[in-house]
Amino acid sequence: MAGKAAKSVVKAVGEYQYPWREKLAKYKDELSKGVWGYWELGAWKPLGVSARRRARLRKEVLLAGEDWSYDPERKEMRTKRKGHKCDRIAAEKRANTEELMQKMPQLLADYRKRKWEKKMNEEDAAAKKV
């Protein structure tokens, strides 16, 4: 006897369908106001349906293959990387330093030549004055 009762309870529970169509019709205007709540006359009002019930209704609607249009739009993905800038650009700086060090002998030679030419021009100008 107890086995038959248990089987009938299991059968009833297994056949139970959450009445999502009725719930969706009932809370349609409330769900369209937002996910968490809304501002009304300068005061924040939470939704009339709890988050748990809203989530269950959403799950049932999606399982039934229907469209759920009450979710907010997804934001753009964050493109700014986390961490310190110096950690990210350290390799670039080292490569740039290596490249500049390759050019260093030529830069020094050009510098010495400019200084020597300037000194010669100053000596010529001083000699012309005297």
Residue range 43-85, pLDDT digits in tens: 998 888 888 999 999 999 999 888 888 888 888 988 888 888 8
68 and 92 assigned to the same domain:
no
Residue 36 neighbours by CB under 8 Å, 6+ apart: 46, 47, 51
Q: Are 45 and 38 in contact (CB under 8 A)?
A: yes
Residue 1 lies in a domain: no
Provide the H-helix boundaries in 35-84.
51-63
Handedness of CA 98, 102, 105, 107 (dihedral sign): negative
Q: Are 87 and 94 in contact (CB under 8 A)?
A: no
Least confident of 12-16, 45-49, 63-67, 110-114: 12-16
- The tokens describing 101, both together, are 């060090």
Residue 120 lies in a domain: yes
Residue ranges making up the domain that contains 130: 85-130
Q: What pLDDT sits at residue 19?
A: 84
25 and 55 assigned to the same domain:
yes
Pairwise CA distance, residues 49 & 24, whole Å = 11
Residue 36 lies in a domain: yes
pLDDT at 89 over 60: yes
22 and 60 assigned to the same domain:
yes
pLDDT at 4 over 80: no
- The tokens describing 117, both together, are 């030419």
Residue 77 lies in a domain: no
26 and 68 assigned to the same domain:
yes
As for how many domains the chain has, the answer is: 2
Residue 34 neighbours by CB under 8 Å, 6+ apart: 47, 72
Using pLDDT thresholds of 50, 70 and 90, give the confidence band for residue 10. low
Total-model pTM: 0.48
